[in-house]
């Protein structure tokens, strides 16, 4: 991911602005890895898989909305945005299938280690990228309430499952 970021930054600097190919490459890699993490979590257990799936689906929904908005602002047609969303969805399914299929035959120690690595990577993304950008503008009470509502919902889902 760091190499992908480095190449994307170089392409954007050369293009003098945002680059559609870099954006879609980063999104594609992220979506496939998220799918593999979903498949891996189901290999660890049904409860873990369901909880991680709910969290990642919410994340991917907002990622998709952000991607569609960026593509439309770059002049892409609605058809191209829809095809891109479909390809990203197929990438998620392919990653989940590969993660579940390949990792289902691995011993539980390795599954736990890979799951810990994947969750740590997600935490890194949140702390290094998203939280920095989130505090560029002042927060509203609605944003703070939604943040805590998301945590409460995930805890409730965890307790119900």
- What pLDDT digit, counting tens, does each position of 58-85 carry? 888 888 888 888 888 888 888 988 998 8
Residue 39 falls inside a structural domain: yes
The two three-digit tokens of residue 39, written as one number:
């498949």
**Assigned domain for 158 exists:** no
- In 3-state terms the chain splits into helix, strand, coil percentages (rounded to 5) of 85, 0, 15
Residue 78's domain comprises: 11-129
59 found inside a domain:
yes
Residue 85 lies in a domain: yes
40 belongs to a structural domain: yes
Please tell me the pTM assigned to this model.
Answer: 0.69
Residue 97 domain flag: yes
Whether pLDDT at 18 is above 70: no
Residue 145 domain-assigned (yes or no): no
Domain count for the chain: 1
Q: φ and ψ at 88, to 5 degrees?
A: -65, -35
The answer as to whether 61 is a domain residue is: yes
What single DSSP character describes residue 74?
A: T
């Amino acid at each position: 991911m760091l190499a992908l970021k480095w190449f994307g930054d170089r392409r954007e600097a050369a293009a003098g602005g945002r680059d559609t190919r870099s954006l879609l490459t980063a999104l594609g890699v992220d979506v496939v890895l998220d799918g593999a993490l979903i498949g891996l979590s189901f290999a660890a257990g049904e409860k873990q898989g369901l909880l991680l799936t709910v969290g990642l689906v919410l994340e991917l929904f907002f990622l998709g909305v952000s991607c569609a908005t960026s593509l439309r602002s770059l002049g892409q047609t609605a058809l191209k945005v829809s095809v891109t969303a479909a390809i990203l969805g197929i990438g998620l399914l392919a990653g989940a299938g590969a993660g579940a299929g390949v990792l289902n035959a691995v011993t539980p120690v390795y599954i736990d280690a890979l799951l810990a690595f994947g969750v740590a990577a997600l935490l890194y993304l949140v702390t290094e990228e998203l939280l920095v950008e989130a505090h560029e503008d002042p927060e509203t009470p609605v944003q703070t309430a939604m943040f805590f509502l998301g945590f409460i919902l995930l805890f409730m889902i965890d307790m119900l499952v």
